[in-house]
Amino acid sequence: MKVFGKKLREAAAQLGLSSADVAHRAQLSERRYGHYVQDNREPDLATLIRIAKVLNTTPNDLLGFGEGSEKPSRHSLLFDRLRAAAQVLSEGELETVLVLADGLAARHKKRKAK
């Protein structure tokens, strides 16, 4: 399953996550996750699903069965990074991020109205 490790590295890089970040968020040891990244081992289904959720992708994409022909837009990649980061924030931290995002959206809306 040589494609799996490559897909893990690519998905993490798109989100700006290190292997340690992904392992922590998927509730895995860094060593165990490292085996998957290096194609030394394959995860069980439950672990594969947890990893896919952390990387904001699907098991099919990680296994090389996804469409994969279209390169995601920069906006889409940034949105995916934001979603991945939000998964580890506390409720208070998430509210702070939402206040900031709402403020930026309102500013953008005012600029478009002019």
pLDDT value at residue 31: 97
Specify the pLDDT at position 70. Answer: 66
Q: What rounded mean pLDDT belongs to the chain? A: 89
Structural domains for the chain:
1-114 (1.10.260.40)
Whole-number percent of the chain with pLDDT over 70: 95
Which band of pLDDT confidence, cut at 50, 70 and 90, is reported for residue 110? confident
pLDDT digits (tens, 9 = 90+) for 35-52: 999 999 999 999 999 999
Residue 28 pLDDT: 96
Start-end of H helices in the chain: 2-15, 19-25, 30-37, 45-54, 59-62, 74-86, 91-113
Q: What is the pLDDT of residue 66?
A: 67
What is the reported pTM?
0.70
